[in-house]
Structures are given as C-alpha cells and as structure tokens.
Structure 1
Amino acid sequence: MNAPRRKPGSTTSGLVLIDKPQGWTSHDAVARTRRLANTRKVGHAGTLDPMATGLLILGINSSTRLLTYVVGLDKEYLATIRLGAATTTDDAEGEELTRAAAGVVDGVSATAIAAGIQGLTGAISQRPSAVSAIKVDGKRAYARVRAGEDVELPARPVTVSEFDLVSSTRVDGFLDLEVRVVCSSGTYIRALARDLGDTLDVGGHLTSLRRTRIGPFVIDAADPLDQLDVASALIGPADAASRLFGRLDLSEEQAIDLGHGKRIDAPEGSADAGPIAAVDPSGRLVGLVEYRAGQAKSIVNFPPDAPMAEPVGPAAAEDAS
C-alpha cells in the first residue's frame, strides 16, 4: 500500500505561539506542527517539561533563524510550590525524599516565607535540578540520573526579577504556594521550589508550572495545540522580527542592495546597534542588520516565502504521541 501522498513541502515561514498541554513534550509539539505545516523545518525556543503547560514558541522554515534570539528572552511563569516534602526531581513526578511533620509545616510563618522568597529574588546563584536537560560530558543530566548515576550540577548565575506570592493554601499537611516568577533564560522554577523548601527547613517541590510569557509574546495570543491552524496562527517574519527588535523600513533599492550583501546608509544619527529588522516596501523581512559607523550591514538574510502547501491524505490528521 502506498504511503499517503503529500504536496511539496511549504516554504512559508514565521513564528507560531502554542499553548502546550500537560503530558506533551516540546518534541511532540514540534512533530505535530511539522505535519500541520507540511515541512520538516520546525524548531522551538525554550523547552517545557511534559508536566508543564503554557507558551511554546515554534519557528517554521527560515524563521527558525529567529529562535536564537527568542531563547535568551526573559520569561514569566505561574507555579505552585508545595512546602513540606522534597522529591528526587524537585517536582511532583519524582519520588519523595523527605517529608516534614504537619506541625512543622504549620509553624512556617508568612514572614519566613516572604524572607525566603526575597532571598531568591534578584541576581542569584542557582544549582539546576539534576534531571535538567543540561549536558554533562555530552550526555543529558536527566539521562544520567535515569541510568542510576549521581549527578550534581554546578551552580550558575541567573536573575529572578520578580518572585511574587499570589496565594497560599494548606492541603493535607502541606502548604501550597501559588507564585508568579519573572526570570532570565536558564532559570529553573523547580530549583526555586527546592531552595525555598530548604531555606524554610521543610522541603519543597513544584506541583504545577505554566509559562505565560516569553519576551513580548504572551500566552493569551497562543493557540491550543489540538486546535492549531498553522496558516491562521502564523506570525509573519517581518511582524515577529519587528516585535523582537527595532525596525528599519527600506526602499526598493536598499532592499536589493542588502540582498546582494552590500552595506547601506543607516538612518541619520543612528548609534551602533543591532540586530534590527530590515523590511522592504512590500512588508517582507529582508534580513537582520546591525548599525556600525553610520552604515547598516546584513547579519542574517531571509529568503522570500512561497505559499503554504496543505498536507494531502490521512497523514494530515496524525497526532504526535
């Protein structure tokens, strides 16, 4: 039996904002979007654990070049930290390591919690969870842990610009804290839960996590993965780049020159800066440029798009598992 026929792969590019459901990996989301967009060239910016939900930014075709700049943006999360127990993974999916007596947890004061949160706010040194995706001698830390190895990752600097307590609830001898965190790329919310529990001498772990913002992109603009229509959800390259960077509107001649690798004059009085989104009169993203000594030089070029092709046959309805 012949495989389902598909039209030639699409070269339409842009960013897509996904509201990732719980239980799906970031790879699952990429695989499903590849089918829907009829292209292999799909990538994501910033992994979300299967337990986590919320904003995942995907780049399609040439717009995968923008993901490098998205990954490093600040992020916002809503999370639940459970005080009273520590786990092997610093979240609810791990095995329980220690549990504090209910009376001990009940004795944790609001003042102590506030002080603990304050101590984890600002520029801090954070030891990532051992089950993170950080590579140790070429192998993911979580893979080493699953293989039975003891993994102790070195601490590294991160910035937690906002760490707010939204509400607290006592549940079965535990204290659940609903929190909002704004942080730099590379910050582990699981590690914040662990460290807050350690500071309060009761243990702590994460029971829920939802990413609500990455840089200028917010969860309210994202589509649920099971309702995704790529063509309508696509943020075009020029729009996406203009949200990420400043914008330079080009004349037709300037667009041609940049496309041929030539330098053009920067706007009068421009300071050295970059990247800047360079957009031609038709609204197409020609590339990203940088201003140096009064000139604009291309640092990343973007090819023109072709119309998006639709998958044909049963494969269009396949889901990632």
Structure 2
Amino acid sequence: MNAPRRPPGSTASGLVLIDKPQGWTSHDAVARTRRLANTRKVGHAGTLDPMATGLLILGINSSTRLLTYVVGLDKEYLATIRLGAATTTDDAEGEELTRAPADVVLALTGALVSAGIEALTGDISQRPSAVSAIKVDGKRAYARVRAGEDVELPARPVTVSEFELVSSTPVDGFLDLEVRVVCSSGTYIRALARDLGAGLGVGGHLTSLRRTRIGPFGIDAADPLDQLDVSRALIGPADAASRLFDRLDLTAQQAIDLSQGKRIPAPEGAEDGGPVAAVAPDGRLVGLADYRAGQAKSIVNFPPDQPPAPVTDRPADPEDAS
C-alpha cells in the first residue's frame, strides 16, 4: 500500500507577529505555525514564559535569517508586581518563600515605591531568575532547578530605560503594582519584581506579564494564535528588513551583482556600517549589506521564494501529525 502523500511545502517567507495566549509555550506556538504555514522552517525571536502573553515574532523560511537581528532589540512589557511575598520562581507559579505582615506592606508609601523603582532604572546589574532558560554547563537553569539542584546565576548588565508605575492597588494584604517596562534584551521582569520587593523589605513576585513591543513591531499588529492566517499575516522580507534597518534601493544590475557576492558603490555620503536592507526594483529583498570604504557588500543573502515542490510518494513525517 502506498504511504500517505505529504502536501507540497511552502517557501513563502517573512515575519509573523503572534499574540501568544497564556499557558502556551513559545515552542507550542512555533509548532502550530509550522502546520499552518506548511513548512518546517519556523523560528522565534525570544521566548515568552507560558504564564506570559503578548508579542512573539516568528520567522518563516528564509526570513528566519532576520531573527538574529530581532532578538537583540529593546522590548516593552506591561506587568503586575505583587509586593508582600517572595516565591521560588519569582512569579505566581512558584511556591511562597516569605510573606510580609499586611500592615507593613500596606504602609509602603508612594514615595518609597517610586524610589525602589528608580533604583532599578537605567544601567543596572541583574541576577537572572534561577528558573530561566539560561544554560549552565549545557543544561537549562530551570531544568537543573527541577532536578533539585541549587542554582544561582551570576549577575549581568542590563538596561531598564523606562520603569513606570501605572497604578497600585491593595489586595488581600498585598500591594499590586501595574507597571510598564522598556528594557534591553536579556532583562528579566520577574527579577525586577523580586528585586523591587527585596529592596522594599517585603518581598515581591510577578503575577502577570504581557509583552507589547519588540523594536519597531507592536502587539497591535499581532494576530491571536487561534485566529492566525499565515498568508494574510506574513510581513514580507523586504518590508520586515526595511523596518529593522535603513533601506538601499538597488538597480536591476546592482541586485544581480550584490546577490552574486560582488561589491557595488555605496550611496554618496554613506558612512561605514550597517546592516542595510538591499531591495531590488521588483521589491524583493536581495539581502542585508554593509558599507565599507564607499562600497556596499552583502553580508546575508536572501533567496527568492520558489513555488512549492511537487507532491511525491514518500512516508509522512510523524512530527507533521496534528
């Protein structure tokens, strides 16, 4: 009996903005998008914890090459920090470690809270949460914690460019702070909650987190995962790259030369550096280039999308099953 036929794979490329629901891992979102996009080549630009919601940027096919440049962009979050208790995971999913008396928590003044937030704003040294995805000797820190190991990660520099208190509400002996944070890549909002509570002497942890922006991409343009139509949501490579970088419009011959690894003249007055998005006259992203000594050279090439391959009789990949 013939094995079932696999549908032809799609090679359409671009970025997709997802509004990840609570309870889903970033891996879950990638797996679902692979099925919807009919391709195995899907990656993401930075994970979100299962408890978090909000913006997840996925790269499809050749546009996964852009994800390297998306990962390091600044990010914006809306979060709820609960003052009055510390947990093992620095968020609501962990076990409670300490709890401060309600009268001490509710006696915190706005000035004290603002001073605590100010101390965690700017260029700071932050110790990531032990249950983070950072690798320790090749193994994720959270996996070591779940295996019963004591893990304390070294502090590292991060930048919290904005840490804004939106509102504060007393709740059952705790103080819930609604905050907005703009920060560099690698900043842990859970760690900010932990350190704010520790600095105020009452403990703190994160109870909700929503990512609302990564670089130039905002949550208002994202699709809920259960409503995703990849073909409609796809941001083409040239459009995506032009949002990330300055744009270099090429002539037809320059597009050919650059794609073949040749150098072309840089625009007059262009300063050394890059990348820039090099775009052909037909709107196709030829690649990313940089400027050196009055010339432009490709640093990443982008192949044109090809039509789907014909269906062949071959065994279906079990990982393609829904």
Tell me which interval the TM-score lies in, with the shorter structure as reference length: over 0.9
User: Is the counterpart of residue 243 in structure 1 residue 243 in structure 2?
Assistant: yes
Q: Match of 1:283, SS?
A: coil
Name the amino acid aligned to 2:44. Answer: H
Tell me how far 1:4 sits from its aligned partner: 5.7
Tell me how far 1:2 sits from its aligned partner: 7.4
Name the amino acid aligned to 1:266. Answer: A
Q: Match of 1:194, SS?
A: helix
User: Is the counterpart of residue 175 in structure 1 residue 148 in structure 2?
Assistant: no
Following superposition of structure 1 onto structure 2, how do residues 149-298 of structure 1 map, counting pairs within 5 Å? 149-298=149-298
Tell me how far 1:3 sits from its aligned partner: 6.9
Q: Cα deviations across residues 40-64 of structure 1 (Å, max 9, x unaligned)?
A: 1000001000000000000000000
Name the amino acid aligned to 1:207. Answer: T
Structure-2 separation of matches of 1:201 and 1:123: 22
Inter-CA distance 180–318: structure 2 relative to 1 (3 Å threshold): farther
Q: Match of 1:17, SS?
A: strand
Aligned length: 316
Following superposition of structure 1 onto structure 2, how do residues 22-33 of structure 1 map, counting pairs within 5 Å? 22-33=22-33
Structure-2 separation of matches of 1:185 and 1:134: 13
Name the amino acid aligned to 2:236. Answer: G
Structure-2 separation of matches of 1:110 and 1:268: 54
Q: Match of 1:68, SS?
A: helix
Q: Cα deviations across residues 270-318 of structure 1 (Å, max 9, x unaligned)?
A: 1102000000000000000000000000000000002579x9xxx9x97
Contact 2:195–2:204 (8 Å) recurs in 1: yes
Name the amino acid aligned to 1:78. Answer: L
Inter-CA distance 225–4: structure 2 relative to 1 (3 Å threshold): farther
Inter-CA distance 169–59: structure 2 relative to 1 (3 Å threshold): same
Contact 1:84–1:175 (8 Å) recurs in 2: yes
Tell me how far 1:106 sits from its aligned partner: 1.1
Contact 1:37–1:308 (8 Å) recurs in 2: no
Structure-2 separation of matches of 1:37 and 1:318: 14
Q: Cα deviations across residues 245-276 of structure 1 (Å, max 9, x unaligned)?
A: 00000000000001111000000111102000
Structure 2 unaligned residues grouped into runs of 5+: 312-317
Name the amino acid aligned to 1:184. Answer: S
Structure-1 separation of matches of 2:217 and 2:2: 42
Following superposition of structure 1 onto structure 2, how do residues 67-106 of structure 1 map, counting pairs within 5 Å? 67-106=67-106
User: Is the counterpart of residue 300 in structure 1 residue 303 in structure 2?
Assistant: no
Structure-2 separation of matches of 1:139 and 1:97: 25
Inter-CA distance 3–178: structure 2 relative to 1 (3 Å threshold): farther
TM-score by length of 1: 0.95
Contact 1:238–1:279 (8 Å) recurs in 2: yes
Structure-2 separation of matches of 1:295 and 1:233: 35
Contact 2:73–2:215 (8 Å) recurs in 1: yes
Name the amino acid aligned to 1:225. Answer: L
Q: Cα deviations across residues 208-242 of structure 1 (Å, max 9, x unaligned)?
A: 00000000000000000000000000000000000
Contact 1:76–1:212 (8 Å) recurs in 2: yes
Q: Match of 2:306, SS?
A: coil
Name the amino acid aligned to 1:37. Answer: A
Structure-1 separation of matches of 2:104 and 2:4: 61
TM-score by length of 2: 0.95
C-alpha RMSD over aligned residues: 1.9
Pick which of 7-16 and 175-184 moved more: 7-16
Structure-1 separation of matches of 2:63 and 2:237: 6
Structure-1 separation of matches of 2:5 and 2:166: 51
Following superposition of structure 1 onto structure 2, how do residues 76-155 of structure 1 map, counting pairs within 5 Å? 76-155=76-155
Name the amino acid aligned to 1:72. Answer: G
Structure-2 separation of matches of 1:29 and 1:307: 25
Q: Cα deviations across residues 64-115 of structure 1 (Å, max 9, x unaligned)?
A: 0000000000000000000000000000000000001111111111110000
Structure-1 separation of matches of 2:232 and 2:150: 47
Contact 2:8–2:308 (8 Å) recurs in 1: no
Contact 1:32–1:318 (8 Å) recurs in 2: no
Inter-CA distance 210–318: structure 2 relative to 1 (3 Å threshold): farther
Q: Match of 1:15, SS?
A: strand
Name the amino acid aligned to 1:48. Answer: L
Structure-2 separation of matches of 1:273 and 1:260: 21
Tell me how far 1:7 sits from its aligned partner: 2.0
Equivalent residue, structure 1, for 2:314: none
